[in-house]
Structure 1
Amino acid sequence: MDLINNIRIHNELKEGKLLNEKGELNECGYSTKVIKEYERKSIKAKNYRIKEWDYYFISNSRIGIALTFGDIGYIGSAGVTLFNFDEPSYKTQSDLTLCPFGKFNFPNYPHTIQKLEYNSSKIKLSFENIKSDDSNSNEEKIIKYLKCTSTNFDGNGNSLIVDIKLTDLPKDSMVIATPFNNFPNAFYYNCKTNNMIAQGTIKLNDKTHLFNPENSLAVLDWGRGVWPFEFTTWYWGSLSCRLDDDRTFGFNIGYGFGNTSASTENMIFLDGNAHKFDEIQFEIPKNLDTNEDDYMSDWKFTSNDKRLEMIFKPIINRFENTNLLLIKSTANQVFGKFTGTAILDDGTPIHFKDKLGFAEKVCNKW
């Protein structure tokens, strides 16, 4: 690992194919664009080891919606979670499919023209990217349409209906290609896009929640890869918000997703521009009696280069514990408010207070 003043030099990815003819990563590192060519057919692993997913979270700081669709080999899943951060409360409905093995045809890129659909008696889900007809721009712009109908969502026969449009995709995203030690055909290719502008509605039981572009933002977690069948613990945090001066601000932070010696996935975003920083530490408090993680007490986050320092006050812990034969997962996805300071590449400090985001600790064997 190359270091300058104890801070690593991160490898920036170059354009080209993600995998070589052996199914191994051609290059490890990060980018702010999806410049590596991912193709499922280039993977040299069994179908049941391949993982592909799209996850969206949209919020106006009072109401949030999470939409997820994944093919993790043995299981395909679609799900929707509605959050009320004022009460606070949440409700999830999901549906599982056995052994999809690629039949959903997940796209090779996150922001190209495409349509991804899931249809069952419980959930109908559609993620569609179309070309904008913006006549004032010479650049091709993408609009994302997210739709979901979840039947009997509240247990009283009422369906949840989600209809959201995402625009103003930022210039930069967090993109990383990560290997796994001792597993040459295993890799994780990931794009996280923060601060997309959201507009639309959520309808449930004669009540409509509005997402207005002035106060509603979205993040996409787009993941493709082959994961080794062993217990993995990862940490992930995300924020998309507006500052007091109305600029969009956010970050992507995390670790535990394979060997990150070539680069971390930690980035700060201001008005669509990425600012890379090194390592982050999630400091989850412990319960004094049990010595277990106390997810609903205040967390602390520190970076080794002092670029991001903050406190996180939890509101909701979306807890899931899954044990389905070959798949085991314990997830604590905690939503709350971040307060702290971020330092841009030019040394400018950005202060933020009580901005809604989330942080999670997930233990998987899948």
Structure 2
Amino acid sequence: MIEREITQRVSLTAENGGLNHAALGWTRTPLHDTSGIPGRGQWGRNKRWEYWSVMTPKHIIALTVSCIDYLSLHSVWVYDRATGEAIDTTVLSPGGRSATLPASLGDGPARARTKKVTLDIDEIDGGTRLRGTTPRVSFDIIADRPAGHESLGVVVPWRRGGSTRRFQYTVKDAARPAHGTLTVDGTALNVPEGSWAVLDHGRGRWPYQVWWNWASGSGIVDGRVIGLQLGSKWTDGSGATENAVVVDGTLSKISEELVWDYDSSDWMKPWHIHGKRADLTFTPFYNKHSRTNVLVISTRTDQLFGTWSGWVLDSTDERVSVDGIEGFAEDVLNRW
């Protein structure tokens, strides 16, 4: 596949509110102006969110601020890796009043304000500050952005009948060193060195039903910081992929639709993701399984957390080992 690298600021949407075809491509740093989302005339199809996952040696933390036009969804999830206890607080509220989301990534804060969940995501010098409170959990975590650190931005078009009315802009930012404090049931816990944060930033107009795979990994291998970013199904046939590897902050785009082999009857079996430029095995240790069925919304998520092994070719065709880094791989079916 040949994918175009974008190196200058560009608007995601055209003057008529549809997709700006000059925005098709990928970036190493966020360059897309997404202020045209939600826009008029497309109510119900606009999806905006900020999702962060933080893996520490003892806990996994996930937080979401999102608005999908007719409702907002905000959540905080914490998993204790020693005890296996998971604490999930998710709030659905009508419309978008409980959500504050920046027009474009980095243009302002993201906030959620409900009785059970409060979230604040703020860009600061050298990183992003993540804060949240629920009845049992609170946290204040910094996801560092080292100098020169690159992330993958991609515009994915869905074509039907020769038109492109549905499209998505995503930024996937792996291997962000994290530190701070997590408090569970009044006990303060350190988020120590060796913790990693991953961002999924999304702005777009979606079809009602979408099936996707997403996978990520972060860690240190042979003294180098490795960030792994993979995706499938929702990008198939679009001319775009969301596959990349980041080594010491430098991103290499993987312009290949990789093959995902896994057993949906036994999610805990090792996953094999492979192609000409990658041969990867993901070994899960926990499945975050969830289902939602509320009015017009139905979701099924199996997000597996585990350990990566194998290799990826970077842009110089050097084999990059990912042996031992941790992360997740997921299979999601959404009707929304």
What is the Cα deviation at residue 297 of structure 1?
Answer: 1.2
Q: Which one-letter code corresponds to 2:131 in the other structure? A: K
Q: Which runs of 5+ in 2 are unaligned?
A: none
CA distance in 1, matches of 2:69, 2:205: 10
Q: Which one-letter code corresponds to 1:62 in the other structure? A: K
CA distance in 1, matches of 2:182, 2:38: 39
TM-score (norm 1): 0.84
Deviations 1:258-313 (A, max 9, x none): 5653321100110111111122222112xxxxxx531111111102x2x2212111
Deviations 1:73-93 (A, max 9, x none): 222011111122334342211
Question: Which structure is larger by alpha-carbon Rg, 1 or 2?
Answer: 1
Q: Which one-letter code corresponds to 1:296 in the other structure? A: M
Map of 1:310 onto structure 2: 280
Structure 1 residues 22-101: aligned runs within 5 Å: 22-27=16-21, 28-40=24-36, 43-100=39-96
Query: Does 2:15 correspond to 1:21?
Result: yes
Deviations 1:69-127 (A, max 9, x none): 11012220111111223343422111111122x77341123234x22221222111111
Q: Select between 17-26 and 319-328 the one with higher mean Cα deviation.
A: 17-26
Q: Which one-letter code corresponds to 2:176 in the other structure? A: M
Of the three residues 235, 240, 252, the one matched with 2:213 is 235
Change in 2 beyond 3 A, CA 1:14/1:143: closer
CA distance in 1, matches of 2:311, 2:82: 25
Map of 1:126 onto structure 2: 120
SS of match in other structure, 2:109? strand
Change in 2 beyond 3 A, CA 1:318/1:45: farther
Query: Does 2:166 correspond to 1:186?
Result: yes
Deviations 1:181-209 (A, max 9, x none): 22632210110111112110111134332
Runs in 1 of length 4+ with deviation above 6 angstroms? none
Map of 1:340 onto structure 2: 310
Deviations 1:137-163 (A, max 9, x none): xxxxx4311111111xxxxxxx31111
RMSD: 2.0
CA distance in 1, matches of 2:267, 2:243: 22
TM-score (norm 2): 0.91
CA distance in 2, matches of 1:103, 1:187: 25
Of the three residues 199, 211, 221, the one matched with 1:220 is 199
Change in 2 beyond 3 A, CA 1:87/1:9: same
Map of 1:137 onto structure 2: none
Map of 1:272 onto structure 2: 249
Change in 2 beyond 3 A, CA 1:88/1:282: farther
Query: Does 2:5 correspond to 1:9?
Result: no
Change in 2 beyond 3 A, CA 1:41/1:199: closer
Q: Which runs of 5+ in 1 are unaligned?
A: 1-7, 133-141, 152-158, 286-291
Report % sequence identity: 26
CA distance in 2, matches of 1:129, 1:168: 10
Query: Does 2:104 correspond to 1:109?
Result: yes
